[in-house]
Amino acid sequence: MSSGSDILQDNSLLSKLDRLYFKLETLLALLGGITIFLLVILAVVNVLGRWVFSLPVSGYIDWVEQFMAVFAFLGIAYCQRLGGHIRMDILVLRLSGRILWLSEFISTAVMLMITMVLIYGSYLHFLRAFINGDSSMDISLQIWPAKLVVPFALSVLALRLVLQLWGYGRAFYHNSTAPVAVPLVEDAATQAANEAATVSNSQEPNA
């Protein structure tokens, strides 16, 4: 599944936490988007400066390397909440009821374990860069801030996975047909219909 899924809501504590946490994820995704926009501006300034004044931006490559971690990782939890990460769901689409929620719970638990390992490893990389004062090659930018972004963003993802484990566990316990706070599995036809509806809505003239 590579497109976003509907997230159901109710008045439960889980749903309230899901909506509250989604505000943080949305803010981080917005920061990632702003970073991309700033990089585009920096690229334009670099090209025009080199072409018109023979004066490119000093340390352009160094700045790009630092900002790549920001836009590459800050939106990862946002995408997970919406079910936007690509996965193979040929088998999952054939499941239903408790078997479906159990399989989703197990896959999410495995993802959480892998994420925890990545958090530990990326934090060690940040700590080493911070202690040793590692810097970039050209203009000697400190690289520990960019490395800190990775364990931070993965920690945000880990908390999202915990919430989804709660949601899948709750769905399994109640044998729910419409669980809250988790991305629902959609077949290809439903995904295509939702994407078509999104496109058509965006093309409607403003009233």
Distance CA 117, CA 141 (A): 28
Q: Which domain holds residue 164?
A: 13-181
Q: Is residue 4 part of a domain?
A: no
Q: Is residue 135 part of a domain?
A: yes
Q: Is residue 141 part of a domain?
A: yes
Q: Is residue 188 part of a domain?
A: no
| Number of domains present in the structure of the chain | 1
C-alpha closest to that of 61 among 77, 48, 46: 46
Q: Is residue 177 part of a domain?
A: yes
Q: Is residue 140 part of a domain?
A: yes
What pTM was computed for the model? 0.86
Q: Is residue 92 part of a domain?
A: yes
Walk along the chain (207 residues) in steps of 10 and give the mean pLDDT of each run: 67 95 97 96 94 90 92 95 82 87 95 98 96 91 94 98 97 92 75 64 57
Q: What pLDDT does residue 83 have?
A: 87
Which residues in 129-163 are b (16+ Cβ under 10 Å) and which e? Answer: beeeebebeeeebebbebbbbbbbbbbbbbbbbeb
Q: Is residue 158 part of a domain?
A: yes
